[in-house]
Amino acid sequence: MRDIVVSKLRKTFKSKGKEVVAVDNLSFYVTRGEIFGLLGANGAGKSTTINMLAGLVLQDSGTIKLLGKDPKKDWEFVKNRMNVSTAYFPLTDVLTIRQNLRVYAKLYNVKNAEKKIDELLEQFELTKLADKKVVTLSSGERTRTALCKGLINDPQLLFLDECTVGLDPDIAEKTRRIIKDYQKKTGCTILFTSHYMHEVEELCDRIAFMDEGKLLTIATAAQLKKQVKKHQVELTLEDGSDELKELLQEEGLTVLGGRDNMLVFEIDAKSDDVNTIVQRLVKLGLSLKDIHIRKPTLDDIFIHFARRKK
């Protein structure tokens, strides 16, 4: 069962008389119970995509199916079963956290609303702040309030747009755990965007990379990492980094940087270059102090995709 099916979606905006393509011919699907990451640099089209899925922005062309329905036709069915949470749009700031959550609980016709609100406040450690106005909260507290609102109706479909921005590492970790637990408990489908790659790697089953509104690739984190063919090696000698530099150049390897007796260089992921280098260093009588091979992370993938065109 596919809970999100996006087909040939296109959206343009006019900016200073010019047409700007925000989303271009975007197609993907998300299966039920999947946490799907949407990644890309600023302006890649992630938020516009979520806004179109949430019914806030009308697409120029293309189709969207949510929970197996056309949201334009079965709008009531879809919207009652989905929710959106973003760090960028606070709830009504003159209302307290509890008042805001009461309003949304009523909007979604939540049964036992007060109990649900208390549970969410406790989960996100907001109980003590429940009667504070949103305008007086820190950005992290507002973000957590937005997450409470996102879960108020136990959604089957959840859009989380940079929902952990501004959270301290401890709360961010707890938030990820709550999202994971909620997904496990309910089997809901989550579309997730974030600039924190470790978060995406931890949470998402599959990841889509977008650039300038276009979809570049969809894969699991492991598959994506394989797309980066180079590994970085950090090699430190007791002495003699000049010889090492020469040696690396002879081997045709790219030196990325370094300091004192340490050099960082790139090797082909499948090659035997490290072995060769170490053997040659021994022959030259240079003693190795430390060696560290850094495998690509999602950050590298992000940078790889972001810089690919440049």
Partner 1 sequence: MKLHRIKALLVKYFYISINRVDRLFDVVYWPILDVLLWGFASAFIEQVSDFNLLSMALGGVILWIFVWRSSQDIAVFVLEDFWSRNLYHLFSSPVKLSEHIVSIIIWGLVRAIVSFIFLSLISILLYQFNILTISPLFIAAAVALLLLFGWTMGIFITSFILRFGQRIQVLAWSVVWIIQPFSCIFYPLSALPPWAAAIAKVLPTTHVFEGLRSILFGTGQGNLLYAFGITIVLLVGVSFLLAQSFKAAKRKGMLARGGD
195 lies in the binding site for partner 1 (CB under 8 A): no
20 lies in the binding site for partner 1 (CB under 8 A): no
Q: Which of 295, 144, 154, 130 is CA-nearest to residue 225?
A: 295
Which of residues 26, 39, 64, 86 is near partner 1 by CB under 8 A?
86
Which of residues 65, 133, 214, 230 is near partner 1 by CB under 8 A?
133
Beta strand ranges found along the chain (DSSP E): 2-15, 18-31, 35-39, 61-66, 82-86, 157-161, 189-193, 206-211, 214-219, 230-237, 254-259, 262-268, 288-294
Residues in contact with partner 1, shown as a per-residue x/- string from 39 to 78 under the rule CB under 8 A: --------xx--x--xxxxx----------------xx--
Which of residues 8, 68, 72, 106 is near partner 1 by CB under 8 A?
106
- Would you call 79 helix, strand, or coil by DSSP? helix
175 lies in the binding site for partner 1 (CB under 8 A): no
Q: Which of 261, 267, 269, 268 is CA-nearest to residue 245?
A: 261
Phi, psi of 58, deg, nearest 5: -85, 130
Nearer residue to partner 1 within complex by CB, 108 or 302:
108
Q: Which of 83, 100, 180 is CA-nearest to residue 135?
A: 100
108 lies in the binding site for partner 1 (CB under 8 A): yes
Taking the complex as a whole, the smallest distance from the CB of residue 208 to partner 1 amounts, in Å, to 20
Q: CA torsion, points 290, 248, 308, 50, in degrees to nearest 10?
A: -10
Nearer residue to partner 1 within complex by CB, 95 or 269:
95
Nearer residue to partner 1 within complex by CB, 95 or 178:
95
103 lies in the binding site for partner 1 (CB under 8 A): yes
Could you tell me which stretch among 104-112, 175-183, 187-195, 212-220 binds partner 1 (CB under 8 A)? 104-112
21 lies in the binding site for partner 1 (CB under 8 A): no
Q: What's the token pair of residue 40? A: 């890309």
Nearer residue to partner 1 within complex by CB, 71 or 296:
71
Tell whether the torsion through CA atoms of 50, 82, 57 and 162 is positive or negative.
Answer: negative
Residue 300, CA distances (Å) to 154, 225, 294 in order:
35, 8, 11
Give the separation between CA 148 and CA 121, rounded to whole angstroms.
7
Q: What's the token pair of residue 304? A: 């790889």
Nearer residue to partner 1 within complex by CB, 96 or 189:
96
Taking the complex as a whole, the smallest distance from the CB of residue 186 to partner 1 amounts, in Å, to 19
Which of residues 102, 195, 225, 280 is near partner 1 by CB under 8 A?
102
Q: What residues make contact with partner 1 under the rule CB under 8 A? A: 13-14, 47-48, 51, 54-58, 75-76, 79-80, 83-84, 86, 89-96, 99, 102-104, 106-109, 133, 149
